[in-house]
Amino acid sequence: MRVTRESLIVELHDGRTVSVPVAWYPRLAHGSMKERQQWQLIGPGIGIHWPLLDEDISIDGLLRGLSSGESAESFERWLATRSRPANRRVQPAKAHRSSVAKRSARMRLRG
Give the residue numbers spanning the domain of 87.
2-110
DSSP state of 24: G
Count the domains in the chain.
Answer: 1
Q: What is the 3-state secondary structure (H, E, C) of 62-79?
A: HHHCCCCCCCHHHHHHHH
Q: What is the CATH number of the domain that holds 39?
A: 3.30.2020.40
From start to end of 1-111, where are the E strands?
A: 2-3, 7-11, 17-21, 40-42, 47-50, 55-58
pLDDT at 93: 45
First to last CA, the chain: 61
Any idea how long the chain is? 111
Give residue-wise pLDDT tens across range 22-59: 999 999 999 999 999 999 999 999 999 999 999 999 99
